[in-house]
Chain A
Amino acid sequence: MQCKRFVLSGAAALLPFLLATAAQAQTTQVPAGRLLASNCFQCHGTNGKGPGFERIAGKSSLEIYKELKEMRAGGEGQGLMTKHALGYTDAQLRELSQWLSTQR
């Protein structure tokens, strides 16, 4: 239960809003986390698929999230990504990791 809630937290936050507008908007679907994850694209390529630094598309949500948490903790030195990862809330890291994991 706990685990399921964490994975869905991004989408769940948007759910009431999506439901409220679903009746009006028949076709528009904006995947949760896509806009957030697009902050990665400048350096890791559109949709995380390069060219650029490490390819992030295709990894599991947990893998990406864990790596970002490790960076935040300084586990990978004091590089740019260590500071960058500190700019997002935990929920945001989960949400963008979740979206990136859908990219193959």
Chain B
Amino acid sequence: MNRRQLIQAAMAAAAGMTAWHPLASRAAGAGGRVIVVGGGMAGATVAKYLRMWSNGGLEVTLIERNPAYVSNIMSSLVLTGQRSMSSLRFGYDALKTRHGVKLLTDEVLEVDAVNGSVLLASGQRLLADKIVLAPGMRFDLLPGQTDPSRMPHAWSAGVQTEQLAKQLAAMRSGGTVLLTIPKTPYRCPPGPYERACLVADWLKTKKPGSKLIVLDANPDIVVEKDNFSKAFFGLHANVIEYHNNVEISSVDEQQMMLYTNGGAVHGDVINLIPPQRAGKLIEQTGLATATNGRFAPVDVLSYASLSAPKVHVIGDSSATTQPKAGHIANQEAKICADALVRYFGGLAPDPAPVTNSACFSTITRTQASWLTVVFQYDPLTKTMQAVPASASASAGWNGDNFDDMNQWFKALMADSFA
């Protein structure tokens, strides 16, 4: 039995023994301790709502290695010079001062999912009644990739966003940009398509004669097909060249080449968005057992891990039927917070949770489309199911939607971080 099997066996045993109700082992009405790992959209929101909805009764410690969160949402606008990196930074002051979240700027090295503790890089070991993991995404390195800055994904906003922006700015007119889209599930389904549209619009005026080749590993545009088709094959047809079913087998960083099932392709700038998987802690803790070992299966009534009941997994790292994106991660966090508040009070989770996704996509530098869907819990399949009548996109794009996008971003970030 190797280490992972050992962990899984121990967790399976724990899962069998531990009921949802804590009162067998806890005094009624007592507070509880919750550790939240990761201060992104999901982690920040769950920390805030745990404090708010327990009326300060739960002790919540948020562990995040960075001093501030840098938003992925809106980060493609850094590539076109329309947004600064500082406009994407969200600190944790409000969580601390307004909501009483304890913040530790530290890194979690190890999670003990059975006993409920985490080991920090600083050497400290923290105990908790519940641990919420929200470590986001990890990006695969493709064969031949040694220096991620050569072909940045810029799919986790930060240094790679700035690198890609610089590479685009330095490219000659008449150059070729490659943008790759991995197979689903990946973070933010419309994201790569909206980035392609935005960059194409920018290339038209800033780098005349340039081309943007989109290499999509999926059989078709995965979401908002009407709008993106009209944009790719109409509005931006003189810039965008779209290829479906393209898988990248390896890369050559020196020659700036991608080797694919459709042949070799050269790019002056390559935005390589690779396949994605749950944050490292998820796999290391033995929780990544869904989606070919990439994501953590959870009970969507509470986001409790199916193999380690003391641990909850929210946001991009969890395997659910919902898209991996910030807006829905925020709602998953609220369901998890509500379920934990109930748990510590001896109540079962809400039996019929609802989540929603809503977002805007840049089609040009001044116009946007929108996309929305509501998910209802289906007790038969124990999954969140999209309500068909609610699943819809705007008919086309316009400037009002672009203004709404800014409004939406402001509201969403405030609901998560302030």
**A residues bordering B, Cβ < 8 Å?**
17, 21, 24-28, 30, 34-36, 38-39, 41-46, 50-53, 78, 80, 83-88, 92
Contacts and interface: CB of A to CB of B under 8 A. Distances in A.
The 9 A-B residue pairs whose C-beta atoms are closest, nearest first, are A28-B345, A87-B374, A52-B411, A87-B390, A25-B346, A83-B392, A86-B389, A27-B29, A25-B345
Contacts of B418: 46
Contacts of B350: 30, 35
B316 interface: no
Nearest to A85: B390
Interface in B282-334: 327, 330-331, 334
Nearest to B339: A35
Interface residues of B, number: 49
Contact of B331 (A27, A42, A45, A85): A42
Contacts of B188: none
A24 B370 CA distance: 46
Contacts of A52: 407-408, 410-412, 414-415
A84 B389 contact: no
A86 B415 contact: no
A34 B411 contact: no
B354 interface: yes
Nearest to B350: A35
A39 to B, nearest CB: 5
Contacts of B348: 17, 21
Interface of B: 21, 23, 28-29, 49, 52-53, 57, 327, 330-331, 334-335, 338, 341-342, 344-348, 350, 353-356, 358, 370, 372-376, 387, 389-392, 394-395, 404, 407-408, 410-412, 414-415, 418
B331 to A, nearest CB: 6
Given A26-B28, A53-B407, A80-B370, A45 B415 contact: yes
Contacts of B335: 35
Contact of B356 (A24, A25, A46, A87): A87
A41 B345 contact: no
Given A80-B372, A80-B394, A25 B28 contact: yes
Contacts of B28: 24-27
A39 B331 contact: yes
Nearest to B375: A87
23 contacts: A21-B347, A24-B21, A25-B23, A25-B347, A28-B342, A28-B344, A34-B338, A35-B338, A36-B354, A39-B354, A42-B408, A45-B414, A46-B52, A51-B410, A53-B407, A80-B370, A84-B374, A84-B390, A87-B374, A87-B375, A87-B387, A88-B354, A88-B374
B390 A83 contact: yes
A86 B372 CA distance: 11
Given A87-B376, A87-B389, A92 B358 contact: no
Contacts of B356: 39, 42, 84, 87
Given A42-B411, A80-B370, A83-B390, A28 B341 contact: yes
Give the most central of A36, A42, A92: most B CB within 10 Å. A42
A36 B350 CA distance: 10
A41 B389 contact: no
Given A30-B342, A87-B387, A38 B372 contact: no
Contacts of A88: 354, 374
A99 to B, nearest CB: 12
A86 B387 contact: yes
A48 to B, nearest CB: 10
B372 A45 contact: no
A85 B341 CA distance: 27
A44 B350 CA distance: 23
Given A25-B28, A87-B373, A45 B411 contact: yes
Contacts of B358: 42-43, 80, 84
